[in-house]
Amino acid sequence: MCPVILPDRAQQLATFFDFNGVLVDDEHLHFSCFNEVLSAYNIEISQRQYDETLLGFDDRGVFDALLPSAERSLREATIASLIRTKAAVYMARAAADLSFFAGAREALAAAAQRGPVVVVSGALRAEIELALSLLDASASVAHIVAAEDVHRCKPDPEGYLLALGWLRATAPEVPRSAVLVIEDSLAGVDAAHAASLGVWAVAHSYPEEQLRAHHPKKIFATLAELVGSLATRSA
C-alpha cells in the first residue's frame, strides 16, 4: 500500500464535510425513525415539513421544535429519552442497510490528500463512526464534531467554529481561507457563511435553484461530480 503523501503543511487545504445528505444517503431513514419514536406522542411529521423546516437540525432540534411546551425538567427528560430511543432504532437499521452517495469514499480520500478532513454533523458520534467504518473511510477523517459537541445546531455556526478551533490547535498554519465546507442543506450553507467559511453545495436534498439563493461558491448536482474539483482546488 502506498503511503499518503501530504502537501507541504503551509500549502494544506482543510475540508469540513457535513455528513447526512452529503456522504450518507440516510435522510429518509432519519425521517422514518423520527416518525416511529414520535408516534408515542401522536406526532407525525410530513415529508414536506421535514424537508422544509427540520432537515439540517440535529435530533434535539427536531424534538424541541415538535414537542408541545411542557414543564422544563419534564421536557428535557422527554427529549433525552427520545434521542436515546431514536438512536437505537437508527443504529439497528443503519447497521443492516446504510446507503452512501456515489463518490463518498473517493471524496473523503481526495480531500485527505490535500490536508485535514473534519466531519461536522448534527448526527450522533456513534452514527458517524458506524457509517465511516461501513464506508471503510475512517482513516481519511482526522476529527469529528458531532451532535454531542454542540449546544446549537445548524444554521448556528457553533459546529463549524469548533472545527476551526480544532484546526487552529492542530494545524495552525492552515488559514481560515484554506478551509472548504461541503454541505447539502440550506441550514448548513447558512452555518458555513456564519462561520465565514467558503462553502460548496451538493444538490442531493434541495434543488440547485433553492441552494443558489443561499449563495454557496459552487453547486454540484452530485457528490460524484464534486470529487474531481476537490482534488484540484486551490485556496
Q: Of 20, 59, 146, 197, which lies in the binding site for Mg ion, with binding defined by CB under 5 A?
A: 20
Q: Contact, 224 vs 103, CB < 8 A? A: yes
The site string for Mg ion over 40-79 (x = CB under 5 A, - otherwise) reads ----------------------------------------
Peptide bond preceding 155 in cis form (omega within 30 of 0) = yes
For position 26 contacting Mg ion by CB under 5 A, the verdict is: no
User: Residue 177 CB, nearest distance to Mg ion (Å)?
Assistant: 24
Cα torsion for 57, 216, 131, 109, to the nearest 10°?
-160
- Written as nine digits, the cell of 222 is 452530485
For position 157 contacting Mg ion by CB under 5 A, the verdict is: no
Q: Of 12, 15, 17, 18, which lies in the binding site for Mg ion, with binding defined by CB under 5 A?
A: 18
User: Residue 121 CB, nearest distance to Mg ion (Å)?
Assistant: 7
From the list 11-19, 59-67, 142-150, 171-179, the region that binds Mg ion by CB under 5 A is: 11-19
User: Residue 38 CB, nearest distance to Mg ion (Å)?
Assistant: 20
From the list 6-14, 16-24, 138-146, 206-214, the region that binds Mg ion by CB under 5 A is: 16-24
Give me the helix-helix angle, 27-38 and 59-66, nearest 10°: 40
φ, ψ of residue 226 in degrees (nearest 5) = -85, -25
Q: Contact, 82 vs 38, CB < 8 A? A: yes
